[in-house]
Structure 1
Amino acid sequence: MRLSKGFSQLPALILLMGWGIFSSCEKPQELQPSVTSSFNEGWEFVKDGAKDWVKVTVPHTPKVEPLVVNDQWQGACTYRKVFTLKKAENEKVWIEFEGVMSNATVFLNGQKLTNHKGGYLPFVVDISDQLTDGENELKVNVLNVDDPTIPPGKALDVLDFNTFGGIYRDVNLIRKQKLYITHPVAADKPAGGGLLVHFDKVSKTVAEGILKVHVKNEFDEEQTVQAIARLTDKEGKETIFQTEEKAMAAGSDQEFLLQLEVQNPKLWNLQDPQLYELQVELVSNGQQVDIEKERIGIRKIRLTSEGLFLNDERIFVTGTNRHQEYPYVGYAISENSNWRDAVKIKNAGFDFVRLSHYPQDESFMEACDELGLILMDAIPGWQFFAEGQFSENAIRDIRDMVRRDRNHPSVFFWEVSLNESPMTPEFMEKANNVLKEELPFEDTYSAGWMDHPSYDLFIPARQHSKPPHYWNNYKDGQRNVFISEYGDWEYYAQNAGFNQTAFEGLKEEERTSRQLRGAGEKRLLQQALNYQEASNSNLRGKVLGTIGMSNWLMFDYNRGYANDIESSGISDIFRIPKFAHDFYKSQRPADQKVHHGMVEQGPMVSIASHWNQESETTVRVFSNCEEVALYLNGALVEKKKPTVNAMSDQLQAPPFEFDLQEFKAGELEAKGYINGEVVATDVVTTAGEVANLAVSIDYSGIPLSNEKQDLVFVYAKAVDSNGNYNAEFEGEVKFELEGKGMLIGQNPVKAEAGIASILYRSVPNDTTFQIKATSYELEATSK
């Protein structure tokens, strides 16, 4: 549950307040049917070669990196946690690690329990037999170095992303009685383990499916067991399913199968992603002995020669790619941070996310379930393949990924393919067979970057083909194609832009889609035009087998092999939008209703200009309205319909272009019209001299967590005396914190395009703090 935190804004000052109650999971407690608690606090950390232990909370990164990561830390480090836990009789206790990069060896009280290889999926350690009733020491040795046997396998200095180390996701303590529902990954059972729910027949009147419940009896004697499932919709309507009682022998495991039938189901879709709470109880001799809960959705997906269908309606999917990296802390971000990214993606007008190029935190998946975002789940891989242990570990990743994520309604496609890697036919066939073994259902769809017949969906990048048609006429539409990446490489490599008459006149650095937010208006407008042209080109194949497209990409990120930030994101690494962001936002129809309070929707209009001396005099306006009127200093420039040409004739909402001939300082106002009525406005004003810093925090509708460490962006925006944003300010800004928590990042830091950014990391139990931003250049005017 995400509770609100309030803040009030003052000139160059932000006051952020919150409160919470924390209950330690380490205190002895009476045995309950099932308890899962956060095990994130109370850790100590040391790098190999260092002497002093440092107190930390996970998620944690071994090194706070610079903004541009040229030499990411790699090596060995150790985490330890001393805790007291009085184990009840007939109790089982596990530790679940959601993500450790990438080779972890776990010890309890000096005894080695397990070694796990792989940085993107969970593993579970049974600590029951090694626990003492007094003090216990849990120790995790973490090795994060180049290892060609652990996917993605490729050495960091030639890898297109970074593999940030540490225990970078949550750690959980799980306590159950010895008669219990298993963990889906730890159980290691194809098409089984934990809870597996699937609906085979779905219509508006009835949904029919199955629920598998895997149960283990570790008592020394036979137990009688009954499984009861309660399915509850958001209005509280409950449907109950149950099995007959069964006898389970001591030391045995058994799968309980429940037939599900839901009358008039509330279906999950992109605009109204209805979810149900599934609660499964184990009952033995009239006593409840275990409970597991999941949020699930009921939907029908079909991939046919005619396209992709959701609940019997054909859809064309428009989306993006996402890396899970934050500046400075790498992968060590909070659950709420993942949610905020999902909100930003939905608000940008997208309905799809390709997880590039690895499985991401389950909290991100849960956010996509709730917001109505389709996911393409992917195993770790990029331009690397090897037979033997590497390929075996990649197959293991398929099993673990599917077992973790199979009940998420947002997951439509499984990318059991090593991205841009020279996979053998044998590996591809095995990868697909393993997927079908884990999910033996008609609507289990695999995706691969190679057009091998084993894959249900071919997912090439746009640049993997040639202009001008790219994939529009591929196999005459007889092969389902999803364009997994577009808009970046083809422009970076300068083999695109064929509809842009001025493309040849641009400098090399001006043509590319890789543009930092501080690159200036001309280059940011070119980036937006590249994405527009590529989107328009892709849409020409909409009726010829192509079922969707995802641009490269949503957020800027670091790469192991490069000495700069990969800046083709439509938002920068601090999640601040570029002009291209609002191009995509304008492609969501004005009358489309998304039934979620966090989603921005409806009519919109956005002027792609800061309107200063450097601005282009041909002003571009992104809008989903029928007409737009542009005013300069109150005088009408023109009222017009969208500009339709060879780069916009397939778009849902082509941009509007206005030729102002020359720059005149003042106010630009755009008014969007539908049916002759003004339904949206946007104003951009030529900024005067910077007088102040307007400081804000990016919650994206997800307030700071009371229970866990959280992470948010803090921005200081340069404004003039009237509050107008000045994008030309590049002065140094210093952030100061009063209260609990920590500021993370370069400090002081230079503003980029008028905005300075830093991270604030909160602490559980006390989120009362104050942040102030100042600049020596503004000292005389900001006080």
Structure 2
Amino acid sequence: MRETIHLNFDWYFTQKFKEEHLRDFKNLIGFIKVDIPHTDLRLPFNYLPEKFNEVISTYKKTLFIKEEWQNKNLNLIFEGVGHAADVYLDDKFIFRNEGGYNRFRIDITDYVSFGKEHILTVVVDNHENKNIPPFGHRVDYLGYGGIYREVYLDVLEVEHILGAYLSNPDIDTNLINFKVESTTIKGEYRIEVLYKGASLYEGWFPLTDFVSEFWVDLPEKMLWDIDNPNLYDIRIGLHVDSKLKDEIEVRFGFRSVKFRKDGFYLNGKKLKLRGLNRHQSYPYVGYAMPKSAQMKDADILKYDLSLNIARTSHYPQSKHFLNRCDEIGLLVFEEIPGWQHIGGQEFKENTLKNVEAMIKRDFNHPSIIIWGVRINESLDDHDLYVKTNELARKLDPTRPTGGVRYLHNSEFLEDVYTFNDFIHSGENQALSDPDFVKKGVPYLVTEYNGHMYPTKKYDTERIRVEHALRHYRVINAASMSDRISGTIGWCMSDYNTHDDFGSGDNICYHGVLDMFRLPKYASFIYSAQQKDKPVLEVLSTLNVGDYPMSLQTEIQIATNLDYIKFYKDEYCIGTFYPEKDSKLPSPLVTINDFIGDLLIENEGLSRKDAEKVKRIFRLIPKYTTGLPLRYKIMMFLIMKKYRIKMSDAVNLYYKYNNPSPNYRFEGYLDGKLVKTVVKEYVKKTKYHIEADSRELEIDTTYDVTKIVVSKHDQNGNILPYAFDAFTVKVAGGLEVIGPKTLALSAGETAFWVKTTGVSDAGSVSVSFDEEELTIDFKIKRR
């Protein structure tokens, strides 16, 4: 029977490879002890010297081969190593892998001595090799190094299962098609189908070849979709001569996907796709984050940002991320590694290998609805992309292919025209006409915004608001077009990059979240599209001094509530509703009146004249004494009508346009008040500390959790210009990932802590000048 030995603890590492690491392979002088996932270089948050992260490093691990494993097959599996790995057992070279995002498997059976200890050595080369996608030219992201995904040893019988690929070609049936690959042509497969732990089906099927195909017809089925991601656990047991030789478990979901000219259909129902691109990188450690962090990103996309699709830009991502997408109903566009550049023959061969590795690894994920088989934003290459599409369709005839480009009327070899649309620059149209880009084909926007309007979390308010509005305009435009299957924006979170991109500090500030996954205003545009919990986010501090000439003429509110009542100094200015000409679930609410009926009630103006005066008041900060003539005449006539002196008119302006110390926003749903936001002058401040989880679990590797530190006013509003410094101390079984001296950035920041295995409890304290906050954790082992 299959036995899996996880090999993620107690590795030895040195950052600089030397030839003596291979000759004197048992010598660990100069090595430090590390656990996997691991980055080969702890990076600064920003300002990374170019090529700084390109190193050749050495990893070693003691591997004891049990005597009882004789006559077994031993497979060593690496989930991901960046970006070239030479693997040695003792002093023997046994394998080389090129590609930082593919799982690779090594049969070490013939290299081991049973009952003895071996030294496994992995030489990891993180240089940007021109033959390994995405490298060879400019790349707008870093290719981090290290053994950054898990490692394990499969101990197998000689007769074992190599892979299983399950599908339901016709959603109107309850049939599951099985293609199971094994090392033998003799025996039977026992199939058991379980739903929520209960057995629904059991059957036996004879092997017909090294790849056996058969069908299972269930008595009933539950569909997998974004609201009800029903998953079946399917056990496949290989029996030879009535003995169980191997068993694997595959998760399966019944669902159908179809891109048409009029949109995307999931299980025959039209669904507007709304998503963001995700890089799998994190501050300080690059790609090296374990299961819980990968799963958390999926949760953020689905639950915090209310999205229904993510694109794995620009490479296949962690199995834990994809597993979580299956579990929560988050659709995925997965693509091969690459960024604009197509290299030589070896590069192209590696590209084809990447297509095969991606599809074989991830075939059984119901969340994946399309394969990206073209180098992101590359030029047309007929011969290469004929091959990638043919290979994808051969390996998986059930899913469509896409090829992300920025080209109009590009050669269309895929099933869906996937297009990066950066036409929107603020005042112009939000999206291109699909039929102008490529006429009459299924069409999906795979990037927008991003570099067109980089925005830092600590930028001035008007920049952060405009960033949010640009995202809103695009998804709003897409909501009103049946020709656009959906939009996947650039991007989820900020990320490190090379010198020739970003803001000069090696960060692209393109995310709706920062690198720590903390929200910018733009994120609230997306989170408001949900119905699960009330959202009321006022995209302003109501401090007019943050605007040129102290001119703030309107406020945007991202909300999923029915209407907003707006109060100024306890007076209800008015009730404001979402935009009417939108098909989004939750359009924006715009407040552009700060006076309401006060001119009518207090000054005796008619409603018509009051509206004229409010219009003039809104223009005065812009034009000062140089009002356009028509408005001067309008004001003169009103002053004459109501016998208002000039001095009284000036006083009237300041009476109704002085910033208020007290604004209140009440959000109503079905006529009931469900959420209130108060904006007023800061009277008190308070620090706050919060963790994603207070319980960590050491399983096949270490665990992590994110801790957010923030500063609020008396109403719970984050203070956007707070940059207070603090230090971090940990105790027990925890350590900090990154530096221990930090500062708030726009009122909040975050860091991760990881388990060390030395204790079943831990604590984290953050110390400001006059205050210390502590949070305690439980740590369990599985």
TM-score scaled by structure 1? 0.82
**Identity of matched residues, %:** 24
Q: Which residues of structure 1 form unaligned runs of 5+?
A: 1-32, 183-193, 218-222, 247-252, 493-511, 591-600
Partner of residue 310 from structure 2, selected from 343, 353, 356: 353
* 1:192-248, Cα deviation, whole Å (9 max, x unpaired): xx0011111112xx322311111114xxxxx841101111112624212321367xx
Match of 2:210, SS? strand
> 2:278 & 2:707 partners in 1: Cα distance?
21
Residue 125 (structure 1) aligns with: 106
Residue 152 (structure 2) aligns with: 172
Residue 183 (structure 2) aligns with: 216
Which residue identity is paired with 1:207?
N
The correspondence of residues 296-445 of structure 1 with structure 2, limited to 5 A, is 296-347=252-303, 348-441=305-398, 443-445=399-401
Alpha carbons of structure 1 residues 215 and 653: separation in structure 2 relative to 1, 3 Å: same
Which residue identity is paired with 1:453?
F
* Mean CA deviation greater in 661-670 or 394-403: 661-670
The correspondence of residues 55-74 of structure 1 with structure 2, limited to 5 A, is 55-71=33-49, 72-74=52-54
1:651 aligns with 2:584: yes
> 1:722 & 1:606 partners in 2: Cα distance?
13
Match of 1:527, SS? helix
Higher relative contact order (CA 8 A, sep 6+): 1
Residue 12 (structure 2) aligns with: 44
The correspondence of residues 62-141 of structure 1 with structure 2, limited to 5 A, is 62-71=40-49, 72-87=52-67, 88-132=69-113, 133-141=115-123
1:763 aligns with 2:701: no
The correspondence of residues 664-683 of structure 1 with structure 2, limited to 5 A, is 664-666=660-662, 668-674=664-670, 676-683=671-678
> 1:528 & 1:584 partners in 2: Cα distance?
9
* Mean CA deviation greater in 730-739 or 459-468: 459-468
Residue 145 (structure 1) aligns with: 127
> 1:90 & 1:613 partners in 2: Cα distance?
77
On the 8 A contact 2:262/2:485 being kept in 1, the answer is no
1:195 aligns with 2:164: yes
> 1:278 & 1:287 partners in 2: Cα distance?
19
> 2:80 & 2:36 partners in 1: Cα distance?
11
1:687 aligns with 2:654: no
1:753 aligns with 2:746: yes
Partner of residue 520 from structure 2, selected from 575, 578, 587: 578
Match of 1:105, SS? strand
Alpha carbons of structure 1 residues 765 and 49: separation in structure 2 relative to 1, 3 Å: closer
Which of structures 1 and 2 has the bigger CA Rg?
Answer: 2
Match of 1:517, SS? coil
Alpha carbons of structure 1 residues 364 and 779: separation in structure 2 relative to 1, 3 Å: closer
Residue 192 (structure 2) aligns with: 230
The correspondence of residues 275-674 of structure 1 with structure 2, limited to 5 A, is 275-347=231-303, 348-441=305-398, 443-449=399-405, 451-463=410-422, 468=429, 470-474=432-436, 478-489=440-451, 492=452, 512=453, 514-540=454-480, 542-543=481-482, 545-561=483-499, 562=501, 563-564=504-505, 565-588=507-530, 590=531, 601-612=532-543, 614=545, 617=552, 618-632=554-568, 634-644=570-580, 649-658=582-591, 659-660=593-594, 661-666=657-662, 668-674=664-670
> 2:7 & 2:345 partners in 1: Cα distance?
35
Please state which structure has a larger fraction of its residues in helix: 2
- 1:151 CA displacement: 0.3
> 1:706 & 1:49 partners in 2: Cα distance?
30
* 1:630-678, Cα deviation, whole Å (9 max, x unpaired): 234544232121245xxx645332211224355323453332233x233
Match of 1:202, SS? coil
On the 8 A contact 1:607/1:684 being kept in 2, the answer is no
TM-score scaled by structure 2? 0.82
On the 8 A contact 1:69/1:558 being kept in 2, the answer is no
- 1:581 CA displacement: 1.0
> 1:673 & 1:662 partners in 2: Cα distance?
31
Alpha carbons of structure 1 residues 627 and 515: separation in structure 2 relative to 1, 3 Å: same
Partner of residue 736 from structure 2, selected from 726, 735, 743: 743
* Mean CA deviation greater in 297-306 or 719-728: 719-728
Residue 604 (structure 2) aligns with: none
> 2:565 & 2:120 partners in 1: Cα distance?
65
Which residue identity is paired with 1:151?
P
- 1:689 CA displacement: 4.6
1:726 aligns with 2:719: yes
Aligned length: 680
Residue 12 (structure 1) aligns with: none
On the 8 A contact 2:274/2:475 being kept in 1, the answer is no
The correspondence of residues 243-262 of structure 1 with structure 2, limited to 5 A, is 243-244=205-206, 254-262=210-218
On the 8 A contact 2:35/2:701 being kept in 1, the answer is no
Alpha carbons of structure 1 residues 324 and 767: separation in structure 2 relative to 1, 3 Å: farther
> 1:263 & 1:702 partners in 2: Cα distance?
40
Aligned-residue CA RMSD (Å): 2.5
On the 8 A contact 1:199/1:208 being kept in 2, the answer is yes
> 1:686 & 1:357 partners in 2: Cα distance?
45
On the 8 A contact 1:417/1:428 being kept in 2, the answer is yes
Alpha carbons of structure 1 residues 457 and 729: separation in structure 2 relative to 1, 3 Å: same
